[in-house]
Amino acid sequence: MNTKTQPQIQLGFAITGSFCTYSKILKILEKMAEQNYNIIPIFSEHGSSWDNRFHIAKEFVETVEKITKNKGIFTIPEAEPIGPKGYLDALVIAPCTGNTLAKLCNGITDSTVLMAAKAHLRNEKPLIISISTNDALGMNFKNLGQLMNTKHIYFVPFGQDNYEKKSNSMIAHVELIPQTIDAAMKGKQLQPVIQSPFTETK
């Protein structure tokens, strides 16, 4: 009998400023922290410093660090060594705003999360994107399409969250992040990538 346990997955988890999704992000982080992951949190400058109607920034950061049991990465200089040291097996951006999506697609590296993504992709390892943007089917549609056809980039399956009032808006099914990581580490995109309209659970 093979009694060896699988090595822990070294996972970067980058959080950008789609504040309305933070409660869901905390829930999935709690579940993943109980699984075979060592989660290293990475925060965008706005995500770690802007108080909003959903969360107090300092409290949110402290909660994420407590769940993951790791200190966060907050600056571009802190994120840059992800490339040369190559210590991540996979990197998730969740939530990934339309702003971050567009900049990533166009090679712009002006934030901690974007530097982490650039550094990680240098090592040809999976980058998993969990979108949350009001213009996924609008101005960002071309960027979404291009990234879906970019090597080493994978998407958490997503759907329209309010097709009647926000027809261009799409949000990832964050509960599928672990399955997406598993597929991505095997070089596959979890399917179907576009799923039924997203509905809130009351």
Q: What does DSSP assign to residue 25?
A: H
Does residue 194 lie within any of the structural domains?
Answer: no
Domain that holds residue 26: 13-184
Does residue 190 lie within any of the structural domains?
Answer: no
Please check the confidence at residue 1 and state whether its pLDDT lies above 70. Answer: no
Please check the confidence at residue 51 and state whether its pLDDT lies above 60. Answer: yes
Overall number of domains in the chain: 1
Question: What's the predicted TM-score (pTM) here?
Answer: 0.93
* One-letter amino acid of 145: G
Does residue 7 lie within any of the structural domains?
Answer: no
Cis peptide before 178 (omega within 30 of 0): no
pLDDT, tens digit, 9 for 90 and up, residues 19-48: 889 999 999 999 999 999 999 999 999 989
Strands 9-15 and 127-133: unpaired
Instruction: Give residue 196's pLDDT.
Output: 78
Please check the confidence at residue 77 and state whether its pLDDT lies above 70. Answer: yes
Alpha helices, DSSP H, located in 40-160: 45-49, 57-68, 76-79, 82-85, 98-105, 112-121, 141-148
Quick check: 13 and 68 in contact, CB under 8 A?
yes
How big is the chain, counted in residues?
A: 202
Compute CA distances 45 → 17, 25, 39, 52, whole Å: 9, 17, 19, 14
Compute CA distances 27 → 20, 23, 33, 36, 70, whole Å: 13, 6, 10, 16, 17
Does residue 48 lie within any of the structural domains?
Answer: yes
Confidence category of residue 3, pLDDT binned at 50, 70, 90: very low
Does residue 56 lie within any of the structural domains?
Answer: yes
What CATH code is carried by the domain that includes residue 33? 3.40.50.1950
